[in-house]
Chains A and B, each alone.
Chain A
Amino acid sequence: MPSIECREIYFSYRRSDPVLKGVSLSASPGEMLGIVGPNGAGKSTLIRIMAGLLKPQNGSVLLEGLMLHGLASDDRARRIAYVPQDYHLVFPFTVMDVVLSGRYAHGALKIFETREDRVIAGRVLKWTGLENLADRKFEDLSGGERQRAVLAAALAQEPELMLLDEPTSSLDVNHADNLMALLDRLCSDQGLTVIMAVHDLSLASAWCNRLGFLDQGRMNALGEPARVLSFDRLKSVYGDSVKRLDLDGRIVIAPRGKRNTNA
């Protein structure tokens, strides 16, 4: 049974044109699925619908066969974790506080975290390489450390499905690659299902098992990265501004650049 399945999702914000027009997809346990596409294609909206934060006007989302939007909020949070694009705290909480906030759904009526919560928080801090920064204020962290702390909080939810909205957008190449490697390890070792909206097509094709290509609210293609990022599709969506290179079996999507234009 797929971990999550979207059937014919339609969604529009207020009275504007539909952002998603009949999107269907499914992902299996242990899979890393990347949602790619140009700006405004509906990637973040789709992620937020799958996270249960938005309700589609039409269509349904099934989580292991159960209707997602019928689940209680804490039940949903024990199955799905969501990593937003921006994470902003008003008050100076520590990294440990942020990570422990991920344990809320496992004891929603409790005022204090349990010993088990602490053990799990310690474990995910280790996975994300933040064990030495547990008492550091979140606002004092670098961009890469922050992203890992937010990921650690999501992992502390012990989810079966992890949804990420542009997780690498504020990271340099090395940190982005490390983050993807960590997610890949969690998929293969723990059977975690990962679905993420990604802008960086090269990164997405390097790490994701499959890609879903969203364009103008429709799922243009879904499958192997090499097939989804075809020359024709890239050209029709991005125009002549990108170039696909195949290097040692890897796909690299490069901007055409000044030199090429002049050539």
Chain B
Amino acid sequence: MLDMDKTRRKLVLACILGGLWLLACGLSGLLIGSTSIDIVRALNGSGPDAQILLVARLPRVLLAALTGGALASAGVGFQALLRNPLATPFTLGVSSGASLGAASAILLGLDTALLGSAAVPLFALAGAGLAVAVVYMLARRRGSLLSTNTLLLAGVCLAFFFGAVMLFLHYLADFGNSYRMIRWLMGSLDITDIMVPLKVFVLTIIGFILLYSNSRRLNVMSAGEEVAQSRGIDVDKVQRRIYFSGSLLTASVVAATGPIGFVGLVVPHVVRMFTGPDHRVLLPASFFAGAGFLILCDLLARVLIAPTEIPVGVITAILGGPFLVWLLRRQVEN
């Protein structure tokens, strides 16, 4: 009885602390930048302060929060699905498909130089969808069960294949387009359209709810497919749900931002050290932690060598990699 309260208590505590963390990071992201703003003036009028806050920073902070949250929770899902703590949202080829889609749109000239167009994210989303479908078809066994080993192998192989096609597209492209492709691959949250995070929000929330509805099953499945089956889980169905919901979470944000690495690997590990492995607590906690983490990374990307912006993917990798190594070492030593 005490334990039932424990899981729920942990969930409530994780949501409260996660919410506070996200609020603190969000406010920092809104208020701090290369140009200082007066918050009172920004909220009252339509002067430059309001422009900076509402047009330059708000959509960006919202997109950063959704992207960080989606990638971190998708990372939790893929690590559980593949029973591999090194799995990331990009392990199964979703981002390579998205990258290929985006690069194709850029090469076809569907993205005008600076104005931006909806074609690139749409192509990226389609590319991600194609990758998800191909990997799924390859991993299906003749019977019905999805083989996680084949899934992993198919995802990694497809990522290599799409990578090679990407190189070919680079070879065909002129310098301008090639540069645009590379910049897309570095990941960016540089948007000014408030509609972008709103669209991403719809897809992200569907993916998250679907993933969370399987959170208890993820716990049972961490003992392996056979044990999960003997506990009464329809393993095939649950694996498919996790694969598609994780892919939806990943694709919805990668299409808008490009691939931003390390969030989906580092955040689940760090959060697991505090919450334990129960996916009912871990999933929402990772969402909040990832959301705040990416807002902070984007803040650093904006201010470190202002007015030049560093691609946010570079910051996440530089911060995330060593931090994870340090935490793991500390855990081993303890």
In the bound complex, what is the Cα–Cα distance between A51 and B220 (angstroms)? Answer: 17
Residue ID in chain A nearest B215 by CB atoms: A111
Asked whether, in the complex, the Cβ of B4 is within 8 Å of the Cβ of A115, the reply is yes
B117 at the interface (CB under 8 A from A): no
Which chain B positions have C-beta within 8 A of A98? 223
Say whether B118 faces chain A, with CB atoms less than 8 Å apart.
no
Among the 9-residue stretches A102-110, A219-227, A241-249, the one with 4 or more Cβ atoms under 8 Å from chain B is A102-110
Please determine whether A113 and B231 come into contact, CB atoms closer than 8 angstroms.
no
Chain B residues near A115 (CB-CB < 8 A): 1, 4
Q: Is A13 an interface residue (CB 8 A)?
A: no
Q: Whole-angstrom distance between the alpha carbons of A114 and B7 in the complex? A: 11
Q: Which of B81-98 contact A (CB under 8 A)?
A: 83-85
B183 close to chain A: CB less than 8 A: no
> Quick check: A93 and B277 within 8 Å, CB to CB?
yes
Nearest-neighbour CB distance to chain A for B92, whole angstroms, equals 17
Interface members, chain A 89-135 (any B CB < 8 Å):
89-94, 96-98, 101-102, 104-105, 108, 110-115, 117-119, 121, 134
Q: A53-B230, A104-B216, A111-B215 are in contact. Are A90 and B1 (CB under 8 A)?
A: no
Q: Verify B8–A101 contact, CB threshold 8 A.
A: no
User: Which listed residue, A74, A82, A93, A112, touches B222 by the CB 8 Å rule?
Assistant: A93
Chain B positions 246 through 269: 1 when the CB is less than 8 Å from some CB of chain A, otherwise 0: 000000000000000000000000
Cβ of B309 under 8 Å from chain A? no
In-complex Cβ contact of B3 among A48, A73, A96 (8 A): A96
Contact string against B for A residues 63-86, beta-carbon threshold 8 Å, 1 for contact and 0 otherwise: 000000000011111101110100
Say yes or no for B272: interface residue by CB 8 A criterion.
yes
Complex CA gap A53/B143 in Å reads 13
CA separation between A225 and B132, bound complex, in Å? 55
Contacts of B280 in A (CB 8 A): 111-112
**A51 and B226 alpha carbons, distance in the complex (Å):** 10
Shortest A133–chain B CB gap in Å is 14
What is the CB-to-nearest-CB distance from B232 to chain A, in angstroms, rounded to a whole number? 3
Whether B223 lies near A88 (C-beta < 8 A) is yes
B213 touches which of A76, A82, A111 (Cβ 8 Å): A111
Q: Is A157 an interface residue (CB 8 A)?
A: yes
Once the chains are docked, how many angstroms separate the CA of A81 from the CA of B231? 7
In the assembled complex, the Cα of A76 lies from the Cα of B230 at a distance in Å of 8
B1 engages A118 (CB within 8 Å): yes
CB distance from A210 to the nearest CB of B (A): 24
Interface string of B226-240 (1 = CB under 8 A from A): 110111111000000
How many Å lie between the Cα of A63 and that of B107 in the bound state? 62
A105: B residues at CB distance < 8 A: 231-232
Contact of A97 with B219 in the complex, beta carbons under 8 Å: yes
Enumerate chain B residues within 8 angstroms of A91, measured Cβ to Cβ: 80, 85, 222, 272, 277
Is the CB of B224 closer than 8 A to any CB of chain A?
yes
Tell me the chain B residues, 193-230 only, with Cβ under 8 Å from chain A. Answer: 212-213, 215-217, 219-220, 222-224, 226-227, 229-230
For B83, what are the chain A residues with a Cβ–Cβ distance below 8 Å?
Answer: 90
List the 8 shortest-distance A-B pairs measured between CB atoms, nearest first: A77-B232, A105-B232, A91-B277, A74-B232, A82-B230, A101-B220, A90-B83, A104-B231
A and B contact pairs by CB, cutoff 8 A, 21 listed: A53-B230, A73-B233, A77-B231, A82-B230, A84-B230, A89-B223, A90-B80, A90-B222, A91-B80, A101-B219, A101-B231, A104-B231, A105-B232, A108-B233, A111-B216, A112-B4, A112-B7, A112-B280, A118-B1, A121-B3, A134-B3
Binding site for A on B (CB under 8 A): 1, 3-4, 7-8, 80, 83-85, 212-213, 215-217, 219-220, 222-224, 226-227, 229-234, 272, 276-278, 280
Further contacts, 10 of them, CB under 8 A, given A91-B277, A104-B216, A134-B3: A48-B226, A81-B230, A88-B224, A90-B85, A93-B278, A104-B232, A111-B216, A118-B3, A118-B4, A157-B232
